[in-house]
Amino acid sequence: MNELLLFLKRSQGRRIVLFGTGPTAAHHLSLLPFPTPAYAVDNDPARWGMRFEGLEVRSPEVLRNEAADGLHVVIACTAIEEVGAQLTAYGLRPGTEFSPSPFLERQPGAAFDQIGPLLVSCIGHQGGLYRVDPVTGDARLLVSGNFRGLARHPEGYLAVHEHDGFHLLDPDLEPIRSVATSQRLNLHGLAVDPDRGRVFVNETALDRIGIYDLHTLDRRGEILPPPDGTGGVDLRHINDVAIHDQSLWVSMFSYEGVWRDRNWRDGTVMRLPLDGAGPARIVHSGLRQPHSLLFADGKLLTCNSLECEVLEDGEPLVAFGGYTRGLAATRGVLIVGQSRIRRLARFPARLLALSLDCGLHLWDRESRATRFVPLPAEAVFAIVPLA
């Protein structure tokens, strides 16, 4: 229904042309007789000059002479991508001057071919920063090391190495500079706050969130999450951090500080004030090794890693057969990192198939299609779509 309403909105007041004269086009006309197309076009010269469902059939070349601002071409054939490229070459704009029929089922996986390259951080064996093309599967290692948090930065992209500190890359992924930390902090999640000139980094070794200057990357302060707010030792294992709605959102293995006791049911997502002052609120509890946080369409997505799933506002959204860590969304596709499972006994017995592969899952919510892009590393931590 949403596709139909969107189509009617886009085509309102425009001259409609039907692209295609086969069963798909006939199906479109049977379901949507109005608005009536002015004529039909087809790439088959044998059909030119004939009539289709009462419409004159012409060569698509006539579209070059149509006034684009008053035209809307309805793609009513299965070759959506090919015809879309053809109409784009004519100077027509997708979504405005042409669109697929709302009754045309999209080819499974078509959305994946529209995704641009990604920057992915990996840890463990063959860890590093990778530039990944999800269409071709090409994965190019840029910098070796145990890299975790990733974020866009006014100068390009900012990444944190587990113990070595910050690495700043320019928009072409060339290194700009590195800034070391004064001690081994087991740096994890990273969030950039350009409006206030700050960077938040989870200093997991000390159970705290460090605050750094956006440009110099000098340390300016810290936030100690409740309940005790003391820090100093890794008891809660703080993982990811995100900024949304004027707040910090933080994931951790344990709220009570018992993760080292192998208590995997105390995982928590907490909301904190950006300045560290004021009450904190537990958003989700009872999770099992929660990691990555992502806000998409106003909803909070969380990797509930030991359950091999992604939650949406605390409820299961999609599950895979491997350890989920790393989230991104682009062009309507959710990208979920998967790390190689090392300790199978820790996973719930009801999960009957556990993957030993490392890579990225592409998931199209609309069609439910998935595609897996393998990576040569051992574990994924974070994913950022390249601008």
Per-residue pLDDT of the chain (387 residues; tens, 9 = 90+): 466 666 777 677 889 999 999 888 888 888 887 788 999 999 999 999 999 999 999 999 999 988 878 899 999 987 888 899 999 999 998 888 998 888 775 556 667 887 899 999 999 999 999 999 999 999 999 999 999 999 999 999 999 999 999 999 999 999 999 999 988 999 999 999 999 999 999 999 999 999 999 999 999 999 998 887 677 899 999 999 999 999 999 999 999 988 888 888 999 999 999 876 778 999 999 999 999 999 998 899 999 999 999 999 999 999 999 999 999 999 889 999 999 988 888 888 898 889 999 999 999 887 788 999 999 999 999 999 998
Interstrand relation of 139-144 and 267-273 (parallel, antiparallel or unpaired)? unpaired
d(CA 336, CA 380): 9
Q: Where are the alpha helices (DSSP H) in the chain?
A: 2-11, 23-31, 80-89
CB-based contact 232:206 (threshold 8 Å): yes
Q: Whole-prediction pTM value? A: 0.76
Q: Whose CA is closest to 355, among 310, 323, 325?
A: 323
Please report which helix (H) or strand (E) contains residue 295, including its range. Answer: strand 290-296
CB-based contact 287:332 (threshold 8 Å): no
Which residues lie closer than 8 Å to 83 by C-beta, 6 or more apart?
A: 19, 20, 43, 75, 77
Give the number of other CB atoms < 10 A from CB of residue 26: 15
Length of the chain, please?
387
**Token digits for 51?**
């009539």
Sheet holding 39-41, edge to edge: 51-52, 55-58, 39-41, 15-19, 71-75, 98-100
d(CA 285, CA 243): 19
d(CA 133, CA 59): 37
CA atoms within 13 A on the CB side of 207: 21
The Cα-based distances of 60 to 18, 79, 89, 289 in angstroms read: 10, 14, 12, 56
- Structural domains present in the chain: 2-107 (3.40.50.720), 114-385 (2.120.10.30)
